[in-house]
Structure 1
């Protein structure tokens, strides 16, 4: 596997890469691929396409988003910097990174390979996680993690790399992600007006995005999104 740079459109090649990696793993160990990138870079879209093709080819695969590990609003309010925590929700310090790490360790453990595991999802209508909402069947061979901070060098986050077989990073133009984020915030009801959506994109999401660019490890694979 010499090539480590792909286009976002190279789905077939990326699927082949995963299948090749899967073939080299012991039967009692799941393959875990982490897809990282700035907010709005297309992580969910890519991971969905990959898992659909892998499942079609009889490689049991599931997507596992980082979103379910947001801290609860009640937890943010109890933080010493509660006002900033609520305003900056989505920044690294507003996630339960330790809980996420513990689940990834469990998914990688051969001792737990013969049991179903469960992960939280995130409900945008209640703006909080929903515990045990995602079932990872014991028959699942491939886990595609996707989230902003999977490649982060920060404490706790950096330990994730020890349990992922490869880390992929989506390289996307900030202006492209900005437009996507504004549209997403309006459609999801995160922002009531376009000005609110713009403010959230510029003063939270893209701030987090620059932090990711400045503080992430070198990935195994870089995936380019054409402008």
Structure 2
């Protein structure tokens, strides 16, 4: 009897990074519609550094609208503010931050980890229980790996490890490539907010690019099974 083929992986979902937020009012009005229209799974809130009270106030203003629309709200850093802000978790940058703060977030809140420059760092994050790992963001100097290197890292992770992997896409082409590589989520940010047509049109294009990449992945996964049946 032939072995039953493994079910295909679920389609990747959008993870949306905000611009640097100084005034939350306009974003609080527009985000829920974007989340609902484009099936955004989570929002990464980038807060402009000010006093803690002001940062907590801005996060609180966005938490309820985002969560009511069906997405999780994560702070980009600032794990010490998560509970007071009503956020769902935080994104931690690098192994040192993970080792210091991951246990403060879990098990009640999400702790994602990026800034993973090597495979060893990535495996450390997985072993520590990170809720997801992120590949492809810029470092402190604004440098990031080439897209094919990011795709290779995503494919390696998706094939071997259980925690979800996220690919940070700086373009629609990268969104398509990272979905095809097996990313569970595709993080988009500036490519959305800098689009002169507006965020709604840009997110629609990003979602379409991810769908194209996912279809390419399904074709690739089905290939060996089809060959074996001939």
Normalized against structure 1, the TM-score is what? 0.31
Normalized against structure 2, the TM-score is what? 0.30
Tell me which protein shows more helix as a share of its residues: 2
Q: Considering Cα pairs closer than 8 Å and 6+ residues apart, tell me whether 1 or 2 has the greater RCO.
A: 1
